[in-house]
Amino acid sequence: DVKYSEKSPLVSIPDFERNVINITQSKLKVPKKFVIKTNVSKPHEISLINWRWDAVGTYLLICSFLLIAAGVKICYHHSNILNTHVPESCVLIILGILVGLLLYVTNLQSDPHVPKFTSELFFYILLPPIILESAYSLHDKVFFNNIGTILLYAVIGTVMNVFLIGPSLYICSRLGLFGNFDMSVLEILTFSTLISAVDPVAVLAIFQEVNVNKALYFLVFGESLLNDAVVITMYNIWTTFAAADTVDAAQIATGLLGFITVSGGGLVIGIFLGAVTSLITRYTEDIKVVEPLIVVAFAYFAYITAELFHFSGIISLIACGIWQEEYARHNISKKSYTTIKYLTKTLSSVADVIIFIFLGMVLIRDDHIWDTTFVVLTTIFCIIYRFATVFSLTACANYFFQRVRMVNFEEQLLMAYGGLRGAIAFSLAESLDPKHIKQAELFITTTLFIILFTVFVMGSTTKPIVKFLQVQIHVKQEAKLFTEINNKFMETIMAGIEETAGQRSFNYWAQKLNRFNNSYIKNILIRGGAMNATKINVTFDKVIYKDHSPPVIFRPSIVGCEACFNNKAFRNTETNENRIQENEPSVSRIQATQITPHSSFMDRIHVRKAGDANPDYSKALADAFSRSAYYQLSGSFRVVEDREKKISREMEKKNRWVTAKTKLGAMKAENSEQCAEKPRERRVSSALHCVVSAALKREHDKREENRDTESLHKF
């Protein structure tokens, strides 16, 4: 039944399950060029143990790498020597080098199950979580106060680096310093563009460990995020020109317009999808489980959509993340917000680990092309021109931008020193086409060397330089209502002074934008309007829900005064009126009343659980409260109520006091007339008048004392 032909090298065995043929024992003669595939075991045979490396080998290796990296990070943070002198990114790169050496020695580099570092893997899988987590952290007033200086570094500074490094290398090439390596102008400009990309992954990894002040951190990190649009746009222009036969004026004009379309298109897509996220989360109050999925999925969708139209996915993701942080987070619950926060942090940390391990693995390869002069001169030019652009642009920003806080010399030095290169430069170098860029392998080797030099040498010495220069360190402070109220007060005062003086600067336009935002945008995108998203209310939520363990919150109708607990109607109130409100940020601060009773009161409260046979726990609550030491000492329970109810209560007391005083005066006049001739009745009336007057006086003194105590407490 065996059939074969010279056209097909495969031997077909029909009805294999019934007739198992052992080819090796048959007398069939097959030419050597033919390949015979057979299986001597039945395909549906049940076995106890199977080896399925072809199916799960790749996933097993990835999981093993991550677990090893996690173990290395744990050891790193428990080692005082490494933690003090060596950045974590350097340790991960060394781990990647060891893994690459192991794969090289065992000849497993070409194994299809070993994951490979590609540009698609980096830009579409590993980079978005890092950018999204960074975008959420950019929602800060300090970042927007320095946005002009950041754009100056990101756009003008990047262009200056490209057109300083490129011509310098081209002149050296014309002088014959690079030997037999002949490079054209477009090749040099392409390489100078990709090597000018300050990597946000490397900067984030180093500067988070250094913990510099927020202004310096946002200047360096914001530049590394926003300059990628310029780098990628210029990279596409030069590679297109290198592949074209001729370059005309129309192509040059199109390339110049690419700066605007790449950045502007990504910004528009990010803002639009961020607004869509906010609108959808307005209606997820009853299905909170999908809120983290909606927010994260729309952010990634913004990145992919921008890349689909060849816009800047990084700018799109940053815009979408900031928009979600400004509007959508007020629509989701506190638990969903916490889930999104730690999910993005976890994904960002995992992506960091994978990127640095891959950077170490790609160093072990056979196709490196090395030229010492080219590598050394490129490194020197990158460092010198980085310092030159930072100092010159900072001088312009300090002089022309009317900065309230000047960037001092120490911070400028640290900014220039923090121009680290990383995976973005390497990914762009890996994307070079050797058909059009003849020296692509030399550029890849030089890029890897500069990445190692900036991360190991400059990154490792950043901490000592910060200590030596005595750069201001960021001290994390707890959220305080006083700070936010004071900041809001100062902003309003500054805007008023500018309006009075007739000079409209940043504060004036910030107030205008804030009013438009509160009047229109927040009312559309936020559930409940702008009142639920003010800075003071957000700070209040942070104070109340600190450490995710907020105080117990009751309805004002339940806890208020002693009479409530003695009222029979109160004890017969329905269960839903006595239930402790759920710990969610959607609870209105006007409807809720915060209490901080004595511990004995808390110990005696028995909250009804599911399946409890006694649904009436209000009596137990009243009994526990009446027996508490706090109640016995004070005689009443003070609560914080909203302003409207407090004013109405004070007005009622005042009206009762005026009415009682009027009646007392009328009674006194009437008794005086009736008892003018009756001394005994006059004495009784006077005694009654004294008793009533004393009672009213005690009530008045008590109210005044409580008012003074409340004023002192507020002060």
Q: Which residue has the higher pLDDT, 594 or 537?
A: 537
Helix 313-326 × helix 249-281 angle, to 10°: 30
Residue 583, pLDDT score:
41
425 belongs to a structural domain: yes
Residue type, 640: V
The tally of domains found in the chain comes to: 5
Q: Say yes or no: 367 and 282 in one domain.
A: yes
Q: Say yes or no: 361 and 496 in one domain.
A: no
Q: Say yes or no: 621 and 680 in one domain.
A: no
Q: 271 with 320: CB under 8 angstroms? A: yes
Give the C-alpha separation, 250 to 244, whole Å.
Answer: 13
Give mean pLDDT, residues 465-472: 82
Residue 308, pLDDT score:
93
Give the C-alpha separation, 558 to 698, whole Å.
Answer: 28
Give mean pLDDT, residues 245-269: 83
- CATH code of residue 204: 1.20.1530.20
Whether residue 651 is predicted with pLDDT greater than 90 in this model: the reply is no
Q: Say yes or no: 428 and 351 in one domain.
A: yes
Distance of CA 289 to the CA centre of its chain: 20
Burial 612-640 (b: 16+ CB within 10 A, else e): eeeeebbeebbebbeebeebeeeeebeee
Residue 277, pLDDT score:
95
Q: Say yes or no: 426 and 506 in one domain.
A: no
Residue found by looking up tokens 């490079």 in the block: 183
Q: 325 with 132: CB under 8 angstroms? A: no
Domain boundary among 495, 511, 537: 537
- What is the band of 16 on the pLDDT scale with cuts at 50, 70, 90? very low
708 belongs to a structural domain: yes
Give mean pLDDT, residues 359-379: 89
Neighbours of 447 (CB within 10 A): 24
**Side-chain-side CA neighbours of residue 271 (13 Å):** 7
Give the C-alpha separation, 539 to 485, whole Å.
Answer: 10
Which DSSP symbol is given to 44?
T
3-state helix, strand, coil split of the chain in percent (to 5) is: 70, 0, 30
Neighbours of 118 (CB within 10 A): 14
Residue 161, pLDDT score:
93
Distance of CA 350 to the CA centre of its chain: 15
Nearest residue to 164 (alpha-carbon basis) of 389, 438, 329, 361: 389
> Of the segments 117-126, 472-481, 526-535, 600-609, which one has the largest average pLDDT value?
117-126
Using alpha carbons only, give the angle 707, 711, 715 rounded to the nearest 5 degrees: 170
Nearest residue to 308 (alpha-carbon basis) of 370, 264, 266, 252: 266
Residue found by looking up tokens 């402790």 in the block: 580
Tell me which residue range forms the domain holding 624: 551-634
93 belongs to a structural domain: no
Neighbours of 541 (CB within 10 A): 18
Whole-model pTM: value is 0.68
- Percent of residues, the chain, with pLDDT higher than 70: 70
Give mean pLDDT, residues 117-126: 88
Q: Say yes or no: 235 and 358 in one domain.
A: yes
Comparing 169-173, 290-294, 383-387, 691-695, the range with the smallest average pLDDT is 691-695
**For 212, phi and psi rounded to 5 degrees?**
-75, 175
**Side-chain-side CA neighbours of residue 203 (13 Å):** 27
Residue found by looking up tokens 């000047």 in the block: 406
**For 354, phi and psi rounded to 5 degrees?**
-65, -40
Give the C-alpha separation, 630 to 637, whole Å.
Answer: 8
- What is the band of 281 on the pLDDT scale with cuts at 50, 70, 90? very high
Question: pLDDT tens for residues 283-324?
Answer: 998 888 999 999 999 999 999 999 999 888 999 999 999 999
644 belongs to a structural domain: no
Q: Say yes or no: 147 and 186 in one domain.
A: yes
330 belongs to a structural domain: yes
Q: Say yes or no: 496 and 431 in one domain.
A: no
Q: Say yes or no: 160 and 256 in one domain.
A: yes
Q: Which residue has the higher pLDDT, 489 or 105?
A: 105
Q: Say yes or no: 517 and 559 in one domain.
A: no
Residue 535, pLDDT score:
58
Compute CA distances 334 → 289, 442, 527, whole Å.
12, 52, 14
Nearest residue to 157 (alpha-carbon basis) of 206, 224, 256: 224
56 belongs to a structural domain: no
Distance of CA 616 to the CA centre of its chain: 45
Residue 530, pLDDT score:
65
Q: Say yes or no: 456 and 488 in one domain.
A: no
**Side-chain-side CA neighbours of residue 148 (13 Å):** 12
Q: Say yes or no: 391 and 292 in one domain.
A: yes
Structure token digits, residue 349: 């940390």
Residue 389, pLDDT score:
94
Domain boundary among 417, 441, 469: 469
533 belongs to a structural domain: yes
218 belongs to a structural domain: yes
